[in-house]
């Protein structure tokens, strides 16, 4: 069964390019981005892992740990990392899970038979410190992921977890946000949003983004 938003991300123990990973223990109290790849030594995946490595500081600023997965074994991962580092001008700084037995792929429903009966699809999961799945996106094999969008969603989740707001279409960090409809008490609104708010419609109220 597919994982749904709010489900607990399945725990697992599996080998990786950085040794044995006990997933929930490895995550600790941080956010996680788990993303899967059809196979090692493939062109789009090579660019994706390079892009993720270059975002190390951005992930760290958001208290996020990245971890990749492919069904190939550890020795292939380590050889592939050399290619990634050289071709993408970076250093891979996160583990790649070796899922040759498909254990993690089955837990996260990463084998889609209509796409491939053997290779994992290009999925991404954002997992919060409570180990809950907060975002799932699956891309076709021909399309590389937009990691700026993944960071944008994490920014939104971390903001809206702590304030009574939602983020509108195409929101970027620093833009106006939406006051949630469940908040109706004007005194509470003034207290929560001292920089003011504006009502475009009774159900569409905007306010400057609170400090994260």
Q: pLDDT tens digits for 96-154?
A: 999 989 899 889 988 765 555 456 668 999 999 999 999 999 998 889 999 999 999 99
183 and 189 in contact (C-beta within 8 Å)? yes
pLDDT at 212: 77
Which one of 45, 64, 92, 97 is the catalytic residue?
A: 45
SS3 of 133, please? strand
DSSP labels for 32-101? EEEEE-S-SS-HHHHHHHHHHHHTHHHHHHTTEEEEEEESS-HHHHHHHHHHHHHHHTS---S-EEE-TT
pLDDT at 115: 52
Q: State the DSSP code for 117.
A: S
Q: What is the mean pLDDT of residues 167-187?
A: 96
- Mark whether 45 is an active-site residue: yes
Q: What is the pLDDT of residue 178?
A: 98
By mean pLDDT, which of 40-49, 51-60, 106-115, 185-194 is the weakest?
106-115
Put simply, whether the predicted model's pTM sits higher than 0.85 gets the answer yes
Mapped onto helix, strand or coil, the DSSP state of residue 178 is strand
């Amino acid at each position: 069964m597919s994982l749904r938003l709010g489900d607990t991300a399945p725990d697992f123990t599996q080998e990786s390019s950085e040794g044995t990973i006990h997933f929930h223990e490895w995550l600790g109290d941080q956010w996680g981005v788990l993303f899967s790849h059809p196979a090692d030594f493939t062109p789009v995946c090579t660019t994706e892992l390079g892009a993720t490595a270059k975002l190390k500081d951005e992930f760290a600023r958001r208290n996020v740990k990245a971890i990749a997965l492919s069904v190939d074994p550890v020795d292939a991962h380590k050889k592939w990392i050399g290619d990634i580092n050289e071709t993408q001008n970076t250093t891979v700084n996160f583990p790649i899970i070796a899922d040759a037995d498909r254990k993690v792929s089955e837990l996260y429903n990463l084998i889609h038979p209509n796409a491939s009966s053997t290779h994992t699809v290009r999925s991404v999961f954002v997992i919060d410190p409570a180990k809950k799945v907060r975002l799932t996106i699956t891309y076709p094999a021909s399309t590389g992921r937009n990691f700026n969008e993944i960071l944008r969603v994490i920014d939104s989740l971390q903001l809206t977890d702590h304030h009574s707001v939602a983020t509108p279409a195409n929101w970027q960090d620093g833009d106006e946000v939406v006051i949630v409809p469940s908040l109706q008490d004007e005194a509470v609104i003034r207290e929560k949003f001292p920089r003011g708010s504006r009502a475009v419609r009774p159900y569409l109220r905007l306010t400057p983004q609170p400090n994260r």
